[in-house]
């Protein structure tokens, strides 16, 4: 047993290094039903205008503006999908329903509420606005217009636009395939009764949720064996189909910590220790074939905080996201945030509104084993290394996990 040989790297430097070494994945085509949350790999261009035809915004009558204030003969009906195939001429009108095509000859639609029908003759008011109550060809989108740009994250509206412009499939960045495993002799499957010195393997389920939330396609590999050769076989198998390896535990300096030596032997370990609290033993390696490996610490809070700081941005880079980091907002500290001498600390806070401000309160003991410090947390507050307490009342930029 010895002190770690890995240099302690500054947290911001480590973050930049991880992103620099993480590749963007390839492109695939997906159906609209599978496009939610994905990132466009190519611009989406409208081949024709939207609307493609002049389309009524209301139920009423399609008329000539010149016929305002007169009584018109109703020639027929234009319903959505069932256009009227004649023309509206002087002294005539066509009944029109919302979404129906405005017939040739008509230049105005009058709402049914503003008319009086008698047999097949309709009285229209005098105070009309020419060209009103219908959507003109190309009013929303012109032919050839780029409606969505590569790099856009697809949500409901974006998928709707792609559909409306006739795209049944979209080119998106591939999702990272992640092999997830826990390491450590002390772990038992959740639900089994732990023996002396044993604990349930909770990190795997927490990380599974975090990985999926970040867009990863996860293969859950179980608890890795705690013996060098068996671990090597286990990891080799896991990496056959994965872009990313995520382990938790086994990256500290003890004699039974096997992850770092294994990563050294199958790739290059760029980061072995970080000036970060919690999360000092965080490990990052690049492997053959553009794959990357994240060795997360075994303490539950450390594994999730290093996930937030390093893994999530990397997974987002792989998927082509423009914004890799969590959004930040200014918050007023409701407590004294005490720093750690040599390490950047990410303190977990809840947020509440006070007037126009968000006020951050600590979630209590910030021990790296105490997951309750992260449960219900709305944000992470970065406290710089040093000896300067961020006093209650200070405004800081908080990493927003969720709004209250």
> Could you say whether residue 79 binds a second copy (CB under 8 A)?
yes
Q: In this chain, which stretch among 8-16, 110-118, 258-266, 335-343 interacts with a second copy, using CB under 8 A?
A: 110-118
What are the structure tokens assigned to 212, written together?
């999926």
Residue linked to tokens 């969590």: 326
Q: Which of 21, 177, 232, 370 binds a second copy (CB under 8 A)?
A: 370
Question: Which parts of 265-294 interact with a second copy (CB under 8 A)?
Answer: none
Peptide bond into 51 cis (omega under 30): yes
- Please list the alpha-helical segments (H only) found in 45-200: 156-164
254 burial class (0-12, 13-18, 19+ CB within 10 angstroms)? exposed
Please answer whether residues 178 and 211 qualify as being in contact, where contact means their C-beta atoms are separated by less than 8 angstroms.
yes
> Could you say whether residue 43 binds a second copy (CB under 8 A)?
no
> Could you say whether residue 163 binds a second copy (CB under 8 A)?
yes
Q: Which of 26, 36, 264, 338 binds a second copy (CB under 8 A)?
A: 36
Q: How far apart are CA 269 and CA 264, in angstroms?
A: 6
Nearer to a second copy, 3 or 341 (CB): 3
Q: How far apart are the first and last CA of the chain?
A: 46
> Could you say whether residue 59 binds a second copy (CB under 8 A)?
yes
Nearer to a second copy, 175 or 291 (CB): 175
Please answer whether residues 95 and 77 qualify as being in contact, where contact means their C-beta atoms are separated by less than 8 angstroms.
yes
Nearer to a second copy, 104 or 107 (CB): 104
Residue in 268, 263, 234 with CA at minimum distance from that of residue 250: 263
Nearer to a second copy, 257 or 345 (CB): 257
Nearer to a second copy, 228 or 403 (CB): 403
Nearer to a second copy, 148 or 287 (CB): 148
Question: Which parts of 202-241 interact with a second copy (CB under 8 A)?
Answer: 202-210, 212-213, 220, 226
Q: Which of 19, 30, 137, 371 binds a second copy (CB under 8 A)?
A: 371
Q: How far apart are CA 236 and CA 215, in angstroms?
A: 23
Nearest approach in angstroms of CB 289 to a second copy is: 28
Nearest approach in angstroms of CB 173 to a second copy is: 17
What are the structure tokens assigned to 250, written together?
């086994």
- The values of phi and psi at residue 33, to 5°, are -65, -20
> Could you say whether residue 322 binds a second copy (CB under 8 A)?
no
DSSP-derived letter for residue 248 is E
> Could you say whether residue 70 binds a second copy (CB under 8 A)?
no
Nearer to a second copy, 56 or 286 (CB): 56
Nearer to a second copy, 17 or 220 (CB): 220
Q: Which of 62, 148, 179, 315 binds a second copy (CB under 8 A)?
A: 148
Nearest approach in angstroms of CB 41 to a second copy is: 17
DSSP-derived letter for residue 310 is I
Q: Which residues pair with 362 in a beta bridge?
A: 349
> Could you say whether residue 186 binds a second copy (CB under 8 A)?
yes
Please answer whether residues 133 and 58 qualify as being in contact, where contact means their C-beta atoms are separated by less than 8 angstroms.
yes
Q: How far apart are CA 10 and CA 162, in angstroms?
A: 43
> Could you say whether residue 324 binds a second copy (CB under 8 A)?
no
């Amino acid at each position: 047993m010895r002190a770690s040989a890995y240099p302690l790297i500054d947290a911001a430097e480590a973050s930049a290094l991880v992103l620099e070494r993480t590749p963007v994945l390839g492109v695939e085509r997906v159906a609209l039903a599978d496009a939610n949350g994905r990132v466009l790999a190519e611009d989406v261009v409208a081949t024709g205008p939207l609307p493609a035809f002049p389309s009524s915004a209301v139920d009423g009558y399609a008329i000539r503006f010149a016929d305002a204030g007169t009584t018109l003969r109703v020639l027929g009906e234009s319903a959505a999908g069932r256009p009227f195939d004649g023309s509206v001429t002087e002294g005539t009108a066509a009944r029109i329903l919302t979404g129906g095509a405005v017939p040739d000859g008509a230049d105005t639609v009058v709402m049914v509420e503003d008319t009086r029908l008698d047999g097949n003759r309709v009285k229209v008011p005098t105070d009309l606005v020419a060209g009103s109550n219908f959507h003109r060809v190309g009013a929303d989108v012109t032919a050839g217009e780029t409606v969505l740009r590569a790099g856009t994250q697809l949500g409901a509206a974006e998928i709707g636009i792609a559909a409306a412009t006739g795209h049944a499939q979209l080119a998106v960045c591939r999702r990272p395939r992640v092999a997830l495993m826990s390491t450590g002799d002390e772990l038992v499957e959740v639900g089994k009764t732990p023996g002396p010195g044993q604990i349930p393997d909770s990190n795997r389920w927490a990380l599974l949720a975090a990985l999926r939330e970040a867009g990863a396609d996860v293969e859950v590999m179980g608890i890795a064996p705690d013996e060098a050769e068996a671990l090597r076989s286990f990891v080799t198998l896991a990496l056959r189909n994965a872009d990313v390896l995520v382990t938790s535990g086994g990256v500290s300096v003890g004699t039974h910590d096997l992850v770092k030596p294994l990563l050294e032997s199958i790739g290059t370990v760029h980061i072995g220790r970080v000036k970060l609290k919690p999360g000092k033993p965080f490990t990052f390696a690049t492997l053959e074939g553009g794959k990357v490996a994240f060795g997360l610490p075994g303490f539950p809070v450390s594994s999730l905080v290093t996930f937030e700081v390093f893994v999530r941005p990397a997974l987002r880079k792989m998927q082509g996201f423009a914004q890799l980091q969590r959004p930040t907002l200014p918050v007023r500290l409701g407590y004294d945030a005490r720093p750690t001498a040599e390490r950047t600390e990410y303190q977990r806070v809840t947020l509440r509104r006070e007037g126009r401000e968000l006020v951050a309160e600590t979630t209590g003991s910030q021990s790296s084993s105490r997951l309750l410090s992260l449960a219900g947390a709305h944000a992470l507050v970065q406290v710089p290394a040093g000896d300067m307490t961020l006093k209650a009342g200070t405004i800081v930029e908080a990493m927003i996990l969720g709004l209250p």
